[in-house]
Amino acid sequence: MLKPRFQYIWEHVDTTSEDDDQNDSSAFINEWRIRAGLTNRVFVSYGREVLLWGPSMLFSPSNPFFVDNGRSDPFRELGGRDYLQAIYLPNQNLTFSLISNVAQGRGVNFDLSEFERTDAIKMDYIGQNGYGSLILSHQQDGLNQIGGYFQLTLSDALLLYGEGSYSQGTQALYPYQSVSPPGWDFVASKRDDHGIFGTSLLGLAYTFAAGPTVNVEYIYNNAGYSDQEARDYFDMVEQLGSDFAGGDLSVASLLAQAADPRLPLLRRHYMFVQFLNTNIRNKLDVTLRYTRSLDDDSGNFIAIFDLAANDNTHLFALGLVNHGDAQSEFGRYIDNQWLVGVNLTF
Amino acid sequence: MRYVVALLLLLTVGVLGLPLPSWADDVSPAEILKQSDAARGGGLPGIKWAIKLTAVDDGETQKQELTVQARDNDSLVEFKQPPKIKGQKLLTVERNMWFIKPGLRKAVPISARQRLLGQASNGDVAATNYAGDYQAVLLGEEMVNGDNCYRLELTARENQVTYDRILYWVSKSRHVGVQAEFYTVSGKLFKRATFEYGNQIDYQGQHIPFVSKMIIIDEINKNNKTTLEYSNIQVVALPDRIFNLQLLTH
């Protein structure tokens, strides 16, 4: 497997103070893999890959490597990371995988932290009307984590699924006011906590006879911020942003950490709904996704259109609209974002 | 010498390639169904075939080419043409289905009811296992295009299958399903299909006719028609790795 890429980016940034155009081009290999079958049941591989799994549509809490499953923007390719893997199939129902993320590859750490190796053991079982997976993982200098997912086929149209991951203590960063500059600490204060922290997701998917499929998911993220912690977090980000804009570069690393507080979602309770209709008149796929934070009532709406103009050409468009006040999860950064493009295949 | 070899070959085919035996008068509906499944890929240890799919929907024609590898209740469909869908895969393991799109990498779980193209559901392109999925009742005998057929009523054993109720006509002489009507839970006819058997496979010493064409007609809008043409049929042992989601996606 080899996936070479050439990328050219033109960006136009329009702010209240100035307009800016930027160009960038690069050539790279996003994914490649060499796999050897030692027997018909044992396989080893090494390569740069995007490892995604799980039945949920919003994100993949069970995945210690890629929580973002790429579904909210299917036209943006996730950066591959370097993995060493061994897969053993004792029978047609069971699969054991040893997975080691040995290098950063093209993956991005938003908090600018150093790469830390992550190892996982994954056990998959497939039964007649469902399947499940158990994932045990350990990040170097991090916590042990247990995760998993399941799906049950309740009828030819109805699927029930769940996904989650848990650890004793959490590496999530929490804001605390401090007397020393810049006035805030942002620390993993619950890392040594004896409590169990994690994210649980429960979902239903129903396919109507006319074709569309609707997914509804509820997410509980118990490491997420309380109302007070969220207020502190937004106050901290606002102040750090202001300090940085004012020329205080010493807050840069704290600001970068604030961009990734090591939480899949900032708050605790969420609902997610997705409407998917594929092959409308055999040429149009429509995906509508809405995520709502039940804690601060902010939300994120995404519409994705993919039109097969002919056998080789796809036209696509993605629109994103957030709502919520400036101190809410989805209202804090971007009001709306639009993407249009052409995908040519030969 | 050449004639001796040819004669030996003819004798071998004559002995091993036995024609299908006639059904006894008291043959059970389940047995009729089981034998007719083999002609549509069901109940075989492993089978591969290619499908050309043509869908006419509201006057527009779309074409796809795909290959299918099937074993028991498992199947792997790989899309070959047109280029816009090349590399996409549909994996079915028991009642579980995933759609795998190159680039995305994440296998998306889907239900058998989701449409593939035109009138063809995902469940239509995989191997047919009506004997396992449906309870059959013999309603009588009827002529279909000059072929004397058993008329069977199939009711879903469980609610996980693609169709709730099917009326199925199986040729008495050829042991193959020649026509099917698909009904909704409310009893409404919504699809009709006809089958042709121009292909043949050899399995356990028998020549088994194999489906060469399936035509599905939308009963709501009869101008909408989907045709599946089957070719390049091979009976082969397929290992577990072919149907392993982990190996397909990572």
Domain with A96 in it: 2-344
**Is the pLDDT at A174 greater than 50, yes or no?**
yes
CA distance A315 to A340: 8
B105–A51: do the CB atoms touch at under 8 Å?
Answer: yes
Question: Which of A60, A207, A313 minimises the CB distance to B111?
Answer: A207
Q: For chain B, what are the domain ranges?
A: 24-249
B117–A282: do the CB atoms touch at under 8 Å?
Answer: yes
* Model confidence band, residue B9 (pLDDT cutoffs 50, 70, 90): very low
Q: What is the dihedral of CA B76, B228, B59, A156, to 10 degrees?
A: -50
**Is the pLDDT at A109 greater than 60, yes or no?**
no
Contacts of B2 (CB under 8 A, 6+ apart): none
CA distance A45 to A32: 10
Residues from chain A that touch B45, judged by Cβ atoms under 8 A, are none
Residues 163-202, chain B, touching A (beta carbon < 8 A): 184, 190
Question: Which of A78, A97, A161 minimises the CB distance to B246?
Answer: A97
Question: Which of A77, A156, A283 minimises the CB distance to B160?
Answer: A156
Residue written as token pair 């957030």: A322
Question: Which of B86, B94, B184 minimises the CB distance to A129?
Answer: B94
In this prediction, residue A201 carries a pLDDT of 97
Between these two residues, B89 and A31, which has the higher pLDDT value? B89
CA distance A142 to A115: 12
B223 at A interface, C-beta within 8 A: no
What residue ranges in B74-173 does DSSP mark as E strands? 74-81, 89-93, 96-100, 108-110, 115-117, 120-121, 134-144, 147-156, 165-171
Residues from chain B that touch A41, judged by Cβ atoms under 8 A, are 240-241
* Residue A279 CA from chain centroid, whole number: 26
Between these two residues, B42 and A94, which has the higher pLDDT value? A94
* Residue A272 CA from chain centroid, whole number: 14
B118 at A interface, C-beta within 8 A: yes
B interface test, pick of A3, A156, A278, A315 with most B CB neighbours within 10 Å: A156
Between these two residues, B111 and A70, which has the higher pLDDT value? B111
Cβ neighbours, 10 Å, residue A189: 15
> Among A10-14, A315-319, B132-136, B139-143, which is the least confidently predicted range?
A10-14
Angstrom CA distances, A29 to A116, A211, B85, stand at: 22, 37, 22
For position A114, which CATH number holds?
2.40.160.10
Buried-exposed string A285-294: b where 16+ CB fall within 10 A, e elsewhere: bebbbebbbe
Question: Which of A52, A278, A281 minimises the CB distance to B106?
Answer: A52
B interface test, pick of A35, A282, A285 with most B CB neighbours within 10 Å: A282
Cβ neighbours, 10 Å, residue A134: 15
Q: Where is A119: in which H helix or E strand?
A: strand A118-126
B249–A52: do the CB atoms touch at under 8 Å?
Answer: yes
Query: Nearest chain A Cα to B99, which residue?
Result: A55
Residues from chain A that touch B109, judged by Cβ atoms under 8 A, are 55, 151, 159, 161, 205
CB-CB contact of B156 with B166 (8 Å): no
Q: For the segment B77-99, what is each residue's pLDDT rounded down to a tens digit?
A: 999 988 888 888 989 888 888 98
Residue written as token pair 């908090």: A111
In this prediction, residue B248 carries a pLDDT of 85
Question: Which of A71, A95, A130 minimises the CB distance to B96?
Answer: A130
The burial class, CB within 10 Å (0-12 / 13-18 / 19+), for B212 is middle
Count CA within 13 A, CB hemisphere, residue A70. Answer: 23
> Among B109-113, B137-141, B212-216, which is the least confidently predicted range?
B109-113
Question: Which of A97, A127, A314 minimises the CB distance to B94?
Answer: A127
* Residue A77 CA from chain centroid, whole number: 12
CATH superfamily of B24-249: Lipoprotein localisation LolA/LolB/LppX (2.50.20.10)
Count structural domains, chain A: 1
B240–A41: do the CB atoms touch at under 8 Å?
Answer: yes
Q: Where is A270: in which H helix or E strand?
A: strand A269-280
Contacts of A179 (CB under 8 A, 6+ apart): none
Mean of the per-residue pLDDT values for chain B?
A: 81
CA distance B208 to B20: 7
A156–B55: do the CB atoms touch at under 8 Å?
Answer: no
What residue ranges in B43-110 does DSSP mark as E strands? 47-57, 60-71, 74-81, 89-93, 96-100, 108-110
B106 at A interface, C-beta within 8 A: yes
**Coil, helix or strand for A58?**
coil
Cβ neighbours, 10 Å, residue B134: 24
**What is the pairing mode between strands B108-110 and B96-100?**
antiparallel
**Is the pLDDT at A124 greater than 60, yes or no?**
yes
CA distance A151 to chain B (A): 9
B19 at A interface, C-beta within 8 A: no
In this prediction, residue B16 carries a pLDDT of 39
In this prediction, residue A216 carries a pLDDT of 98
Residues from chain A that touch B158, judged by Cβ atoms under 8 A, are 129
Of the candidates B190, B147, B143, B202, the residue with the CA atom closest to the CA atom of residue B166 = B190
